[in-house]
Structure 1
Amino acid sequence: MSTAEVRLDFGSDEFLADPWPIYKELRRSDPVHWSEAFRAFLVTRFEDVVELLTDRQVVSGFPMRSSRRLFGPTLLDADGPRHRELRKLFTPLFVGGSVKRLRSEILVPAVDQVLDSIEAEMGSAPDVDIEFMERVAVGVPYAMVTRLFGVPPEDAAWLRPRVLPLAGAIEFPATALDPALAAKAELIAYLKEKLARRREGDRMPFLDLAFPPGEPLDESLLGTATLFLLAGTETSVATIGKIMYAVLAHNVELSALADPAYRDQVVRETLRWEPPSHTILRYASRDLTLHGVDVPRRSTLLLSLGSASRDERTFEDPDVWRPGRPDQRLLAFSSGPHTCLGIQLALAEFDTLFERLSQRFGGVRLSGSLDGVRPGFWRLRERGHIFRRPDHLHVRLLRRPADAVASGSRADA
């Protein structure tokens, strides 16, 4: 593929099916690529992306960016003192001992709620076929976030159709803004109603932090609350699907994921190999020159986490999925001042899910067929760019042998 043949169309079938050769050619010949379609510079090499993410002169805030128009001013597009103030407000919920408590109080019950329903469906049969994306990859994050917000878990079925338009409005290319604004208004009304009904002793970890009981409601934070509903669900939906895809594609036995060290390696390598978000949006607050390309002040920068995560200058055999590789630097959660605030909770969520899967089932196999089959491998059909995820993933979960179940029960006890 020559430079002249590169056609950067995030919505094209070619890109959605296999963006990696396109990224590779851009890294080689055009690492700061001007996209006329997006009126933006796409930056594709690892070191450049990291440098720009940590450069205080490359900013997140811009009044006309789609996330600002949708959510209003939030943590996502704040810079400087306001950004530090918002991070300080929410940090206590997402670090250290708090994450450990949330794992036992929220993550394990959320995962078990989903897996209980699958085991009940299996009954006495030796296995059960499920659509993994809908049942598990969607089920677990929404079961988790309802508990984190202290709202009824059964409300997840109402929440998702209102969260999805928010994701679409900040995609590349974006869907219509008006449906997303209507969905956000419904979500804000929902949160306000739940806060109005809050009683002493109610457990609402996120909402209690953002809107302390007994204090006037700070409506400026309602946009941030809806943003967290999106960030805490759809990114995890994509990541969970990618991890299961990697496990199946590389013939990893479910029992191997009982080893905490290996499980962590699998999660981290998948986040490098198939990150759920391929691009982060930034703006140049000063004139820049990158690889001889002049980037004028106020230019839009698309920093490619997807391309950078497979940069051959940084990672040996970057297209190969290799848990335990020496260099496990991650960009999936961004870098610099805007590193994802929920990184520890997200990693705990993925770890908890695949730990419980390894404890409760005897194995997992691909069920049915997939698009994009080629000798020795298969590739999922995916959609999305900011929330890049498999369309479908049909799997068969196997019953755990009786002696293993008894041993697992003793271990759990």
Structure 2
Amino acid sequence: MSPTKVSLDFSSDEFLADPWNIYKELRRSDPVHWSSAFNAFLITRFEDVQELLSDRQVGSGFPMRSSRRLFGRTLLDTDGPRHRDLRKLFMPLFAGGSVKRLRTEILVPAVDQVLDSIEAEMGSRDEVDVEFMERVAVGVPYAMVTRLFGLPPEDAAWLRPRVLPLAGAIEFPATSLDSALTAKAELIEYLKDKLAARADGDRMPFLDLVFPPGEPVDESMLGTATLFLLAGTETSVATIGKIMYAVLAHDVELSTLADKDYRTQVVRETLRWEPPSHTILRYATTDLNLHGVDIPRRSALLLSLGSASRDENAFEDPDSWRPDRTDQRLLAFSAGPHTCLGIQLALAEFDTLFERLSHRFGGVRLGGSLDGIRQGFWRLRERGHIFRRPDHLHVRLERKADA
């Protein structure tokens, strides 16, 4: 019997609104799905995705890959010794001890900058309406990354319009590579200016690591620096939006997020239930056969983190959001040699934000008209596939009662 034909269009309204039923059918009937639209095999089962992420017969680097053409040979697009050398270079900044320090020096001030502005807007009122995606989900990662790079926090408003084309160029389907290259060139000139103006005593944690003070700027690493601007912002934008989405959808009291263990469970379960990135691109370095399907060497593989994270053979009741589940395996940060280098910093960012939200505000609920909002909430328009997030999320934050 031939596999059931499944319509797969990452940009369609049907898919953006509810990809989960499509994934489920693919896992059942066509787990190695050939997509002629993307000229790639889509892999949808948890066990297969996890195994291929660690398989040395599957590579990340490919000369014509959009990210390679945009950023050059970075961590994202290299394998073997060069990839290990690059990870070793960055590890001191993203190791556990460093993350603890960065939490105090960078994450807390970044979060407080955003929450201070909301409290100031609230004034003497008991509550304030906030467009959460723009004010918080965008505000916090950009406040964080400017501090991590040692850039003026007020430059965040200039940075984002130049980071977004980079994200678009590696989406499915991709936006203009030419626009992304133009934006990248502007970002590189901006970073070179900041490095040239660096003075003794200036603290630029990321840039100091990549471009040591007193040494000539290694221009081959400027593409890597722009990649980190993207990686440190837009994935976090999506994740923060998804965590608040989950909190609202499941009537979680903001005060309960003051408990660290529960907060950790909420973050991890949301990353499984609604991962911010649904697909990772890899390439077969040799001929493969998976579930009877021949995959020729150099074939593109779309490893579906979104589908794998809802695999009924890996997780009990996978479509339900259950922070208390004992199995909280994560693929949201990839796995194997290309596991996200910034995983500990990202988790600390999400933890810091929702901890401080729970301490500074008394509650959160959906904003806007309440007529039909609960029914419409589950159909929030989302966009993106590599950076999948709600377009908008209007919330109402309540003043915390005096102790």
TM-score, length-normalised on structure 2? 0.98
Which residue pairs with 2:345 in the alignment?
Answer: 345
Partner of 1:107, secondary structure, is helix
Query: In the alignment, which residue of structure 1 is the partner of 2:192?
Result: 192
1:212 CA displacement = 0.5
Which residue of structure 2 aligns with residue 6 of structure 1? 6
Specify the alignment match of 1:331 in structure 2: 331
Counterparts of 1:11-410 in structure 2, within 5 Å, are: 11-368=11-368, 378-403=378-403
Q: Distance in 2 between matches of 1:373 and 1:38?
A: 36
Distance 2:275 2:283 in 1: 22
- Point out where structure 2 has 5 or more consecutive residues left out of the alignment: none
Task: Return the alpha-carbon distance in structure 1 between the equivalents of residues 283 and 101 of structure 2.
Answer: 38
Check whether the contact 2:362–2:397 (CA below 8 A) recurs between aligned residues: yes
The offset of 1:4, in angstroms, is: 3.9
**AA of the residue aligned to 2:230:** L
Letter in 1 for 2:105: E
Long gaps (5+) in structure 1: 404-413
Contact persistence 1:371–1:381 (CA under 8 A): no
Give the superposition deviation at 1:95.
1.0
Q: In the alignment, what sits opposite 1:411?
A: none
CA distance, structure 2, for counterparts of residue 369 and residue 279 of structure 1: 35
1:154 shift after superposition: 0.1
2:145 alignment partner AA: V
SS at match of 1:402: coil
Distance in 1 between the 2:5 and 2:270 partners? 29
Q: Hey, what's the Cα distance between the residues in 1 that align with 2:43 and 2:309?
A: 12
CA distance in structure 2 between the aligned counterparts of 1:181 and 1:351, rounded to whole angstroms? 34
User: Against the structure 1 CA distance between its residues 38 and 197, is the aligned structure 2 distance closer, same or farther, given a 3 Å change threshold?
Assistant: same
Q: CA deviation at 1:370?
A: 9.6
Distance 2:108 2:214 in 1: 30
User: Is the Cα contact below 8 Å between 1:370 and 1:380 reproduced in 2?
Assistant: no
Displacement of 1:96: 1.2
Change (3 A) 1:12 1:371: farther
1:290/1:369 Cα in 2 relative to 1: closer, same or farther (>3 Å)? Answer: farther
Structure 1 residues 373 and 27: alpha-carbon distance in aligned structure 2, compared to 1, 3 A threshold:
farther
Number of aligned residue pairs: give it: 402
**Take 1:371 and 1:68, find their aligned partners in 2: how far apart are those partners?**
48
Q: Contact 2:280–2:302 (CA<8 Å) still a contact in 1?
A: yes
Secondary structure of the residue aligned to 1:63 is: coil
CA–CA distance in structure 2, aligned partners of residues 376 and 58 of structure 1: 41
